[in-house]
A and B are shown apart, each in its own frame.
Chain A
Amino acid sequence: MAVHSAVNGTTAIPWRSSRKMLTLLEQLKGCQQAWCPGAPWDREGAHRAVSGTPTGSFLIVRDSAASQPSVLCVSGGENDAVLDYTIKTTGTVFQLSDSRLSFSDLAQLVFFYSLTRDVLDVALSIPKWIYSVTDKNKGRLSQLEPKTWLCTPPDQRADEMTQKEPSTAMCSIQLTSSNGALCIINPLYLREHGDEWLTHRVPASQGVALKRERRISSTRAWAGAGIQCKRAISLDQEGCAASAEGSGLTRAQSADSPHGPEATAEEVGASTGVVLRRPSREDVSTLPQRLSTESLTVMSHSNRGSLTSLGSDVQHGSPVPMSPHRVSWIEDGVWLAPPRPSSLLQPPSLELDSLSISSMEEEQEFQASSSPSHHPSAHRLADKVINRLSAVGQVLGGLVCPKQRLINRVQELSERKGGSFADTVKGFVEATLKKGADSDGATGSEFLQEVRSSLTTLREALLDYPEIQTLLDSITDLNELEIESLVELSLHKVAVKPISAHLYSCINIARSKDGTFERLQSKLLVLEKNEVEGLGGSPGVGVPDCAALDRIQQRWTRMHEAYSPNKKVHFLLKVCKSIYECMSANSSSAGKVFGADDFLPCLTWVLLRSNLITLQIDTDYMMELLDPTQLQGEGGYYLTTLYAALYYISSFQPRLATRQLSVEAQNSINQWHRRRTLHCDQSRRSKSRRTIRRQACRDRASQNPSTDPEGRGESEKDDDSVGADEAQQGAGGGAGLQPLSEEKEAEQEVGDESLTPSSASSARMQDVRNKRADSKTLWAWEDQQR
């Protein structure tokens, strides 16, 4: 692309040549008068000056009245065309009117659009001479004229740059256009941390260590909480075992480094905090090389059609950076951290880090078989395309959604031969498949509660894995609970998917045994003739028509097909939304908003026209297997409502007082209490970030379900802790134990509830949504999991 020639290759700064080198951003700021002159420069003047200059040359002119930057004039290169872009200024924030990206100062805007054209037709070109400006002569910058600014032919720079060896090119910005893929490194990150790591030839071990150290220190800086440090340390310790057994990587670790984020590269490099050593080629590997070879590996893998997790990374990532050149992924927030006061872009190494470790493992396996990258010519090739590939690698690192990478990584961990997590998962799956509702008289509910408890254990174990930790640390915009939720979701694919069919059949057996299905079927016959008014709905409320009912049935089907309880809730919410729409659309009183008075009857009406058996199974599945924190919020509300409606149907007694409960109903509710109480407690424990030893986990997985002491302890407490401090200890309902003669009382006792964790997951998801300012929730992400 001719358009990109100006930014192709490596933009170099002779970093070491001066004691105090200015970053490009500082340089740009220094000469802002040159590219953003004040009066008398106007648009016409700028056009005249820019016209005929090399593509990408630009000036910004100010509004004559407000003196605010108003128009960006860019040389289009052909026919002396000059392209104008309006700059919007909101308070102290600048943005191009066509773009949603905002910048806190003009230099950042310019800098960004010199790296990627985004909404521009051409990327901005920054004159080459600016790179030679150092601390000493920076005073001259401010005296520059726009004419001087425009006079340097920018192509010259690109030519020079491409011939430079990476070892000598001290890069501040390394970027390449490879099939249109651009890599952008946050200038603010460079300003903060230096850019030496990009090209400085260090042994790979040191490079990685440096990188890792930086990651730790930087996350620590953001986290600003002791918990982060603690976790990093313990993980590193665990990392010795985990990575060694999994991949042959050895990881040596010294004491936790005291360096804060402001530590310079040299300092960090000198006191290596963590050493991640590769058995081969470590001395010749530079960071870019590593990236490039791993990219090679990646490409080879995908070429061979390999469906390794990294291969799928590529599949996910590669379509994105292709044309068109618009960096929609930045605007979409994949790359961007939530707005911070000082930085709009995420530090690049956070993204790269997680990619690299796994890729090195991939690489090793690959080398063991065919080893093309060991071949000298391959090496030369790697050198030649180093920038391209490193850019690709970096783009992939930045592009592949961290959440998707988490799924891939968890999958990888669970498949790794001899890995402890793989063993644990395997043990869990096998043990679960052996057990069932019919063993030892355990009810389906109790069995599922054990599964839930094991899932929580697995999640805790996962959170303790250094590889997962590394990845999670790169996701800086989620809090602890959101992280847990994310890991939970990634766990579903490896741990829940293999057992879901078995769980269905267990619920089926249990619900057949306890007569729920039978009751549902018989009550269906009684109730199905009811219109919504007969179910208590207010007159005139709309119900789904045939077409809508069909769509709802399809969603129920998809809900049943989903193995992840979270995914099921996602479909449940879709159904509920359809029902709401029909309630309003088919209502006789237009514009009325319907609350629970009408929604519950309408949902019941819909249920009576759906497969109640399957729905009961799915409801149990969700209720029992959802992480307890998810039982709140919107998802929790509608799941409760679904449960309630099914329960209403199955316990319908037309001739009796509606407020009395059958024994079965009491038992049902009582069970429900117990589950939640149990889970509450687990969740609280998990918050204390208790490290769960894998051995213990394995033991537990092979244990007989009825010997779980915690579970039993909880259920015992159920009966005696009425009035206890519920925030601490859920007071379980004693409803099931009430004699039938006290029906009214019993009904009241049913309400004896425990509190669920207030950390509502749905709310949390809304938080995520809000923070990322889009409507893609974890649910949506979860869509992709299947």
Chain B
Amino acid sequence: MSSRGSGGRSNGTLPQTKICQFKLVLLGDMAVGKSSLVLRFVKGQFDEFQETTIGAAFLAQSVCLDDTTVKFEIWDTAGQERYHSLAPMYYRGAQAAIVVFDITKPETLERAKAWVKELQRQASPNIVIALAGNKADLAEKRLVEYEEAQTYAEDTGLLFMETSAKTAMNVNELFLAIAKKMPKTDTQNPTHAARHRGVNLQDPDAHSSRACCGGN
């Protein structure tokens, strides 16, 4: 599914860097910090790979593994129960999912479990699911023990980390762990890799107003 064009038009002069692109969906109850987690990941590190988007509900970010650039397109979902039935539209075709809960709210773990169950039944069979116990910085308010979630994750075959969007704890690690687990069989056109190197001809912001010539 991660296949891109085979690059028939690539100029072929640059060293091959594998670029894999994946759709990652964020699930979890409202206000567990889904967006904050991703924002921390997208804005916090790897600035050079950051792509601008119009808002935080859809974000794209790349991480570099050894020989591979893994690009995530991150689809956030509304966590409210009333919008639950819309979720399949979002997680369809996703190759990865992060199900987020709040370690200070046990009911959000229950909701997370329901999401995991649904994903395992409905989503792509090879979807990589990660469970994130967010707000780990609020240790004094913790109501979900690490072991409890850890055990659940092991039993269910999930990646699990406790994270804090606030302190950035484990945020990049979580995405890296997912990236490592993704199948990286397909490469993207190497010309895409080319944009990260070579002579810098332009200021990145110098072209925002360019219109194609010849508008009528």
A250 within 8 A of B: no
**Do A753 and B122 touch across chains, with their CB atoms under 8 A apart?**
yes
Query: Which residues on A sit within 8 Å (CB–CB) of B26?
Result: 596
- Please tell me which one of the listed residues B9, B124, B216 contacts residue A483 in the complex, with CB atoms under 8 A apart: B9
Q: With a CB–CB cut-off of 8 A, which chain A residues contact B86?
A: 600, 644, 647-648
Whether B203 contacts A776 by the Cβ 8 Å rule is no
Residue A626 CB within 8 A of the other chain: no
B178 CB → nearest A CB, Å: 16
Partner of B57, one of A90, A641, A659, A673: A641
User: Taking the complex as formed, is B134 at the interface, i.e. its CB lies under 8 A from any CB of chain A?
Assistant: no
> What 0/1 readout, one digit per residue, does chain B (59-91) give for beta carbons within 8 Å of chain A?
010000000000101011111111111111111
State whether A593 touches B35 (Cβ < 8 A): yes
Does A281 sit at the interface, judged by CB under 8 A?
Answer: no
B55 and A100 form a contact (CB under 8 A): no
Interface residue from A338, A658, A771, A773 paired with B85 (Cβ < 8 Å)? A658
B54 within 8 A of A: yes
Shortest Cβ gap from A143 to chain B (Å): 32
Report A255-271 CB contacts with B as 1/0, cut-off 8 Å. Answer: 00000000000000000
Q: Tell me if A121 is interfacial: C-beta within 8 Å of chain B.
A: no
Give the B interface residue count (CB, 8 A): 85
- Of the candidate stretches B143-151, B169-177, B194-202, the one touching chain A is B194-202
Bound complex: CA of A148 vs CA of B96, how far in Å? 69
Q: Which of the candidate stretches A187-195, A372-380, A507-515, A632-640 sits at the interface with the other chain?
A: A632-640
> Which of chain A's residues has its CB closest to B190's CB?
A479
CA distance A726 to B125 in the complex (A): 8
Shortest Cβ distance from B28 into chain A, in angstroms? 9
Give Cα A669–Cα B186 distance, bound, in whole angstroms: 30
Residues of B within 8 A of A643 (CB): 89
Task: Tell me, rounded to whole Å, the shortest Cβ–Cβ distance linking A671 to chain B.
Answer: 12
State which residues 566-598 of A face B: CB under 8 Å.
573, 576-577, 579-580, 593-597
Contacts of A687 in B (CB 8 A): 5-6
Q: Are A315 and B1 interface neighbours, CB within 8 A?
A: no
A643→B90 CA distance, assembly (Å):
11
**Interface-facing stretch out of A23-31, A272-280, A412-420, A755-763:** A755-763
B73 touches A760 (CB 8 A): yes
**Cα A437 to Cα B100 with chains together (Å):** 43
- State the Cβ distance, A639 to closest chain B Cβ, in Å: 10
B 82-113 to A, binary, CB cutoff 8 A, 1 in contact else 0:
11111111111101000000000000000000
Closest CB-CB distance, A617 to chain B, in whole Å? Answer: 19
Q: Does A615 contact B (CB under 8 A)?
A: no
Nearest to A335 among chain B residues (CB) is B213
A338 to B201, CA, bound (A): 9
Binding stretch for chain B, among A134-142, A163-171, A220-228, A287-295: A220-228
What's the Cα separation between A733 and B121 when bound, in Å? 12
How many angstroms from the CA of A702 to the CA of B89 in the assembled complex? 34
For residue B211, CB closer than 8 A to chain A, the reply is yes
Q: Are A339 and B198 in contact (CB under 8 A)?
A: yes
B60 & A758 in contact (Cβ 8 Å cutoff): no
Contact A223 B57 (CB under 8 A): no
Q: How far is the CB of B31 from chain A (nearest CB, A)?
A: 7
B82 proximity list for chain A (CB < 8 A): 536, 648, 658
B-chain residues with CB within 8 Å of residue A751 when the two chains form the complex: 87-88, 91-92, 118-119, 121-123
Alpha-carbon distance A103/B75, docked complex (angstroms): 41
Whether a CB of chain B sits under 8 angstroms from the CB of A329 is yes
Shortest CB-to-CB span from B117 to chain A, Å, is: 8
- A140-157 vs B, Cβ < 8 Å mask (1 yes, 0 no): 000000000000000000
| B56: Cβ under 8 A from any A Cβ | yes
Task: Determine whether B141 belongs to the interface, using a CB cutoff of 8 Å to chain A.
Answer: no
State how many angstroms separate the Cβ of B73 from the closest Cβ of chain A.
6
CA distance A752 to B123 in the complex (A): 6
Closest Cβ of chain B to A488, distance in Å, is 14
A241 to chain B minimum Cβ distance, whole angstroms, is 24
Question: Does A749 touch B at the CB level, under 8 Å?
Answer: yes
- Do the beta carbons of A750 and B207 come within 8 Å of each other? no
For the complex formed, measure the closest distance between the CB of B191 and the CB atoms of chain A, giving whole angstroms: 6
- With known contacts A224-B12, A756-B93, A758-B22, A776–B85 Cβ distance under 8 A: no
Note all chain B residues with C-beta closer than 8 A to A771: 191-192, 194-195
Given contacts A341-B13, A644-B86, A751-B92, contact A766 B213 (CB under 8 A): no
Contact digits for B124-150, partner A, Cβ 8 Å, 1 yes 0 no? 111000000000000000000000000
Q: Which of B73, B200, B216 contacts A316 (CB 8 A)?
A: B216
Partner of B30, one of A334, A483, A536, A651: A536
Our pick among A329, A640, A755 for the contact of B213 (Cβ within 8 Å) is A329
Q: Give chain B nearest CB distance to A561 CB in angstroms.
A: 16
A271 to B21, CA, bound (A): 44
Q: Quick one: CB contact mask for B30-55 with A, threshold 8 Å, 1 for yes?
A: 11001110110000000000010111
| A763-B5 contact, Cβ under 8 Å, with A640-B89, A661-B85, A755-B124 | no
Interface membership of chain A positions 676-694, coded 1 if the CB is closer than 8 angstroms to chain B and 0 otherwise: 1000000000010000000
Q: With A339-B200, A593-B56 as given contacts, are A776 and B118 in contact (CB-CB < 8 Å)?
A: no
Q: Which residues of B contact A658 (CB under 8 A)?
A: 81-82, 84-85
Given the contacts A336-B201, A595-B76, A759-B5, A480 and B88 also touching, CB distance less than 8 Å: no
Asked if B30 and A580 sit within 8 Å, CB to CB, the answer is no
Whether B199 contacts A339 by the Cβ 8 Å rule is: yes
B200 neighbours in A (Cβ, 8 Å): 90, 93, 102, 339
Query: A341 contacts B122, CB within 8 Å?
Result: no
Interface residues of A in 627-664 (CB under 8 A from B): 632-634, 637-638, 640-641, 643-644, 647-648, 651, 658-661
| A780 x B212 contact (CB < 8 A) | yes
Interface residue from B54, B55, B85, B123 paired with A747 (Cβ < 8 Å): B85
Contact B215 A783 (CB under 8 A): yes
Known A-B contacts: A231-B8, A536-B30, A763-B73. Give 15 more (CB < 8 A): A93-B199, A313-B214, A315-B216, A339-B198, A344-B199, A577-B55, A594-B56, A596-B79, A597-B78, A727-B124, A727-B126, A748-B118, A753-B88, A766-B51, A776-B210
Top 9 A-B residue pairs of the complex, sorted by shortest distance between their CB atoms: A316-B214, A774-B207, A595-B35, A224-B12, A753-B92, A751-B122, A751-B88, A227-B8, A596-B76
